[in-house]
Structure 1
């Protein structure tokens, strides 16, 4: 990635002056707002052309579709599958999203990757797949931010913060809700809230919202009917709803994975899997057209309408299946807005089902809002993010308290029984272990190979104890590495043990070797190495090139490992709190 050699002063100003950093964050918000506006317009244009709906209308609010239109998601799936096939031919690595970039790569996010994700998301949603646009929005906002930050050669933590600013701006523009966008950046992308990050993240969120308003592309905020007066007694039933939402969240996330594995076990070529998924979604949409796209129109209809329990249950089940088929077959998108829509349905189902047995009446609108937030928190994460969304949608502080309480209940259940949000669960299925955007990339880069010393003196395992004592008198060394005739690691000799009175001087050192099968590899990270030290209770271990050839390449002491770990951990904590030094 090239830097900006002609603008060294700008780089210094941005790195050292907080006001300049905030201005840069606001610029990123402007660009994120423009990206969201463009993506939203293209998606609506596809809906208008393909499904004959107005540019200001929502696809999921239509009453019915024709049989010909039911084939449109399959066509979109074919296009998405072909694009994925072409991309796979020219690259071997997977597309990195903002959470993974901030957790593992110090905020390094490819703008070309972001454009690919954005394009595939537009195709998926535009052709009617049951996925949301928010993943594409945040990918573009974060990709732009990462590009600008790296052009200015900013510090690792500054890049991570700006990636969060890009995502915050995108969500703010998408929902016309700056506080929702800001806390999305804090909770889901940066992974920590600190005073140092408030100003840039809020600046980006506000700038993005203002751009969409000036362009006239600001979406309608989620419109909620009037909320009745609430009291402390109203909290109890919604704690139960939060728990139910947590259970449903885990079920939905697992269902997506099961569908994905189901497609894989059929040995169907990946290029046509989205087309098959689109065909199934289209078939569902013939009977329940509200499953098409993310669900913006259907959400507003259900918030204001009075569907029966049977109708709500049918729509909930159809939307869950359609979303799982879309994502599991390979369409690009997310579950953010789909989880909001499903939460509204779940909340209304809960209110209708529980009213006959509850001592106090459960209001349908309140239950819909609480269900919306709780299910979204269970699937996406970010209880404060979704609480602010409810606050900005309703303007009611009392219901925001109930929303936060129920959301925390859902979050606790998901964390204790499942441990992942939808984004991090998808990474887990792929083989990653991260559970949030908190920076653990430095932990993986701090390897044994970087910390070991390479000046290793070895002795042959056939050496006699008498000869060993001549070479290494007491006090000359604490440990010596032994190798066999093929120069393979054989173990470690503790020098004091070689001088023990009961030791036979005529025997070779093989009889006193320790840690024969305990060794480190250069690629091990500091955490893995520390666990091996803890298991072996050794103060120093040999490092070998691999477990097959076992050629000794270095030594590492436990004290040095722990000191380096403490230094890097302290640096990471100071960076998260905005206390990084001016120069690294």
Structure 2
């Protein structure tokens, strides 16, 4: 029996999705096409989050022997020493993975923020899968890290791969990468608005009308997929609330400032741990196991330090806790998180900062009546305020954390209170420290980026791309008369002077030589007109660095040499051309952001 051939033209919109070529044209030429791509990214993000959550839960059950209805950080293990041994074993497994990667894949792994800031949204899917596996090992064996880093990395990796296959423009690819991160956070927290603004504030770096629809669509779709697959496992129940009074705002502002200080201490603690480990003689592949020993010892004191802390957060929100226990748990979790990240476990501090913020908020609730006599908030409201304020100090994204509070409480007055606290926290961190956790780690690596704003195009606009290669050169031992014969007035503005080995010596303005009276002493040489002998450009410099050097030397042109050792002249660049190309690129980015192109 003959099977009829499938005619894609009869399938309407589905034919576009099934035909890569048509989908590519649809996504590049139409805003609706980009929304369709965001829809697909939302599906992949929801599936990625659900799969990672399922694997993590399975590892917890396998390694720690807990039930499928139990949370690791809220389980009472009694005298069971599994809590000590599991993080150590996880550190050894992760060390083996690192050992293999050191020999197989030596290039540094780029995260979504760095990909959007420097690489135009291009993110390796292979590297993203590697990060997700490392994150699962770390979290699955009890290291004090969350899965949010793996969620966003994997979802963004799939999004970038889809965007590259569709051959999207740089701005559209960056937006699609944001769609992946938005879907991941939305699915992880059952919070589409939180996911969308996480993408705008932390991954894309800006909000535009063009990016709004695909990002929100991706967040909504990912949330629906995850909820259907995971049966509502990504919710945070904070109970009921009382009313919010005007007098409650001063305590919230103070709590925001305290959370900022706590966030800075956590970030400093992570960097200090990394520095100590780096300066020690301990091989990098053994550091996670040593970190696992510390985490295991802390877990013996309180299993609530294990993993991200979902169970522990619910436990502390729903039960009354003494002040000494809150202080002790806050210190234990802080140390466990700093040691876990600093020793090489892979993961993020998103949920850990929410948990620690809730502890700090409840602790603050006990002292608030003594400082503010008119304070009326309950400890659980302070916990919600503390969650968002500490998370914004560590992660960044004031609106992201505000919408998270709205979506987990459903109470608008509390959300306004949270907004006041997170703005305070963000302001204190930016003015006193200047970085979020992600950008602080970039700073430690020598990167100057402070957000996901697209600065990669500036780095791609290099001197090598801007310079002209038809350079007029002359030997330094040339006489003035010979120079005048070879370079008549009007033939060129400037000549690059080189020595007998073709090494750069400096620049000579042709009109300066002709302005020299012919009756001067015969011993006047060409080298007397040479200037900018130690000022030149290199091909790897970007336009911004070139403009800075033009400014410093007060010159309208500079020679380009191949390197500092050989100093062989390979080109010439003028300030006017550099500024014109720089302005053109700036205008192009502006038009991309406004949707004009």
Which TM bucket (shorter chain)? over 0.9
Q: Which residue of 2 aligns with 1:518?
A: 535
Q: How far apart in 2 are the matches of 1:400 and 1:352?
A: 21
Deviation readout 1:20-57 (Å, 9 max, x if unpaired): 32122112111111111111011111111222222122
Q: Which residue of 2 aligns with 1:342?
A: 356
Q: Which residue of 2 aligns with 1:33?
A: 46
Q: Cα gap change, 1:209/1:83 in structure 2, threshold over 3 Å: closer, same or farther?
A: same
* The one of 447, 462, 468 aligned to 2:477: 462
* The one of 418, 424, 433 aligned to 1:418: 433
Q: Which residue of 2 aligns with 1:359?
A: 373
Q: How far apart in 2 are the matches of 1:479 and 1:269?
A: 55
Q: Secondary structure at the match of 1:499?
A: helix
Q: How far apart in 1 are the matches of 2:397 and 2:405?
A: 13
Q: How far apart in 2 are the matches of 1:111 and 1:210?
A: 24
Moved more, 287-296 or 472-481: 472-481
Q: Confirm or deny that 1:128 pairs with 2:123.
A: no
Q: Which residue of 1 aligns with 2:59?
A: 46
Q: Which residue of 1 aligns with 2:579?
A: 562
Q: Secondary structure at the match of 1:438?
A: coil
Work out whether residues 37 and 217 of structure 1, in 8 Å CA contact, stay in contact via their aligned partners in 2.
no
Deviation readout 1:251-307 (Å, 9 max, x if unpaired): 111110110111122211111110110111000010111000001111111122221
Q: Secondary structure at the match of 2:370?
A: coil
Q: How far apart in 1 are the matches of 2:317 and 2:102?
A: 42
Q: How does 1:38-437 map to 2 (within 5 A)?
A: 38-65=51-78, 66-361=80-375, 363=377, 364-437=379-452
Deviation readout 1:91-150 (Å, 9 max, x if unpaired): 220111111111111111111111111111111111100000000001111011111111
Q: Cα gap change, 1:542/1:362 in structure 2, threshold over 3 Å: closer, same or farther?
A: farther
Q: Which residue of 2 aligns with 1:550?
A: 567
Deviation readout 1:65-108 (Å, 9 max, x if unpaired): 52233110100111111111101211220111111111111111
Q: CA RMSD in A?
A: 1.7
| CA shift for structure 1 position 362 | 5.3
Normalised to the residue count of structure 2, the TM-score between the two structures is: 0.94
Work out whether residues 471 and 572 of structure 2, in 8 Å CA contact, stay in contact via their aligned partners in 1.
yes
Number of residue pairs the alignment of both structures matches? 577
Q: Which residue of 2 aligns with 1:478?
A: 493
Structure 1, gaps ≥5 residues long: none
Q: How far apart in 2 are the matches of 1:163 and 1:20?
A: 15
Q: Which residue of 1 aligns with 2:6?
A: none
Q: How far apart in 2 are the matches of 1:20 and 1:6?
A: 13
Work out whether residues 159 and 179 of structure 2, in 8 Å CA contact, stay in contact via their aligned partners in 1.
yes
Q: Cα gap change, 1:119/1:490 in structure 2, threshold over 3 Å: closer, same or farther?
A: same
| CA shift for structure 1 position 9 | 2.1
Q: Confirm or deny that 1:532 pairs with 2:546.
A: no
Moved more, 289-298 or 360-369: 360-369
Deviation readout 1:452-472 (Å, 9 max, x if unpaired): 000011111222333333333
* The one of 441, 463, 476 aligned to 1:448: 463
Q: How far apart in 2 are the matches of 1:361 and 1:509?
A: 82
Q: How far apart in 2 are the matches of 1:96 and 1:295?
A: 26
* The one of 20, 32, 38 aligned to 1:7: 20
Q: Which residue of 1 aligns with 2:4?
A: none
Work out whether residues 420 and 435 of structure 1, in 8 Å CA contact, stay in contact via their aligned partners in 2.
yes
